[in-house]
Structure 1
Amino acid sequence: MITLYGVYRSRASRPLWVLFESGTPFTHVPVIQAYRLPDPKAPDAPLNTTSAEFLKINPQGQIPAMTDGDLTLTESLGIATYLARRYGGPLGPQTDADSALIDQWMLLAATAIETPALEILQAPQVAMGEGITAVAAEKLRRPLARLNAHLRGRDWLLGDRFTVADITVAECVRYAQGHPGLLAEFPEVHRWLTTAQARPAFQRMWAGRMAEPA
């Protein structure tokens, strides 16, 4: 039985979306990030990333984490890929080429998109936010241009089939959606992301996220 640890307002959104797309049953344990709590060690503190109970699952103290029988995974992309391969049917790779392409797009998102997109998301909360946003947007233009060119004439990253690659890449691009006008420069990316986020499984995940305290 799958147990997923982590709140919706974290990278747990990625495996949660996969699970909802596939209709796979699972147990959800909402572990919150310790930095969001005034005193994570307080006796009445909710289960969090410094709780001894959770550190037995992931000694690194990060979410998400997942157990499935004897298997424990502690990285969101690894968890999402595993779930898609084992339980996701068409969400996962069907051929060796599929597997390579899914890895390629997820690695592009992790190495070239996620960090500057997160900087855009977090910029309003820090000093010099406008400058940070401008620099981060410039870093994103090259990988977004590559995505835009690839998606021209395609519904999804692997063509006509929605896969775990679309989920994980879309969740990284989402961090930059608050930038005024950036995605408008890349209409194919904007179309693809809007279509992905209209899926019922994303909407279910997003409703869970919005129900949690910010």
Structure 2
Amino acid sequence: MALTIYGIAASRAIRPLWAAEELGLPYRHVPWHYNGPETREPAYLAINPNGTVPAIDDGGLLLFESLAITLHLAQTRPAGGLWSETPEGVAGLYQWTLWAATEIEPLARQWFHHTSFLPPEQRIESLATAALDKLQARLAVLERHLAGREWLVGERFSVADLNLAAVLQRLDALGRGELPHTRAWHQRCLARPAAQRAWALRQAKA
């Protein structure tokens, strides 16, 4: 089954790229920029009508939304070890992935936009501070969950760890205080060989 991943690695495309590396999947990477003209062309809009990255063509199955893509790749390649074998485990994969999308990413993006991404004249310091303040309560939830365990769901690294670790890529700046369990978990995730290969693509294309 041929897999094509669209989007530069210095974007949310890092998530499906990391998943593909974890699963050992052969894939074609089309490193189109999220602001590039290619994403506005009819050919790409037929794949992702939002005109954003990432998107994939997985043997004819077209899919956008980075976290949906990683869940799809993990579920359809269970031998790769990122999915769960139990209903309880699958529920956990969805829970932590949706938690990353709803509780962490909006605040992390608000902070990033108003500290680094937007032009200086458009940044609003109070919005960055407010986002960082709210994130601490969410990170406290994660810290308590990780106490006494290495991974989010079950006894091994899963797509839930991949998704949340990628959303929390700037954990060093986002987390106040020690957060020993969370920081150790994040380091374990990003130290994985597949993560290193994916992040090497990110550095090359940044």
Instruction: Measure, in 1, the Cα distance between the counterparts of 2:176 and 2:147.
Output: 15
Show CA shifts across 1:151-192 (max 9, x none).
Answer: 00101101320000000001111144334xx25342211111
Answer 1 or 2: higher relative contact order, Cα 8 Å, separation at least 6.
Answer: 2
Equivalent position of 1:32 in the other structure: 33
2:161 aligned residue: 166
Q: Is the 8 A contact 1:183 1:189 kept in 2?
A: no
Report the Cα distance in structure 2 between the residues aligned to 1:167 and 1:57, rounded to whole angstroms.
24
Q: Does 1:119 align with 2:114?
A: no
How many residues matched? 200
- The answer on 1:64 being equivalent to 2:57 is no
Computed over aligned residues only, the root mean square deviation of the Cα atoms, in angstroms, reads 1.7
3-state SS of paired residue (2:173): coil
Alpha-carbon spacing, 1:139–1:13, altered in 2? closer, same or farther (3 Å):
same
2:92 to 101, 109, 116: 101
Structure 1 stretches lacking a partner, 5+ long: 41-47
Comparing 80-89 with 121-130, which one deviates more in the overlay?
121-130
Conserved in 2, the CA contact under 8 Å of 1:118 and 1:176?
no
Distance 1:75 1:151, change over 3 A: same
Conserved in 2, the CA contact under 8 Å of 1:65 and 1:73? yes
SS of alignment partner, residue 20 of structure 1: helix
Matched, 1:91 2:82: yes
**Partner deviation per Cα, 1:106-142 (whole Å, 9 max, x = no partner):** 1111000001111222222345554333211111112
Q: Given residue 196 of structure 1, which amino acid in structure 2 is its aligned partner?
A: C
Q: Which residue of 2 aligns with 1:212?
A: 205
Cα distance in 2 between the residues matched to 1:16 and 1:128: 30
Unaligned 5+ segments in structure 2 are none
Q: Which amino acid aligns with 2:108?
A: A
- For 1:145, the aligned partner's letter is A
What are the superposed Cα offsets for residues 181-210 of structure 1, whole Å, 9 maximum, x if unpaired?
A: x25342211111111111111111111111
- Cα distance in 1 for residues equivalent to 2:31 and 2:49: 17
| Structure 2 counterpart of 1:199, one-letter code | R
Report the Cα offset of residue 88 of structure 1.
4.7
2:85 partner amino acid: Q
Which residue in the other structure is 2:136 paired with? 141
Identity over aligned pairs, percent:
40
Q: Distance in 2 between matches of 1:52 and 1:136?
A: 36
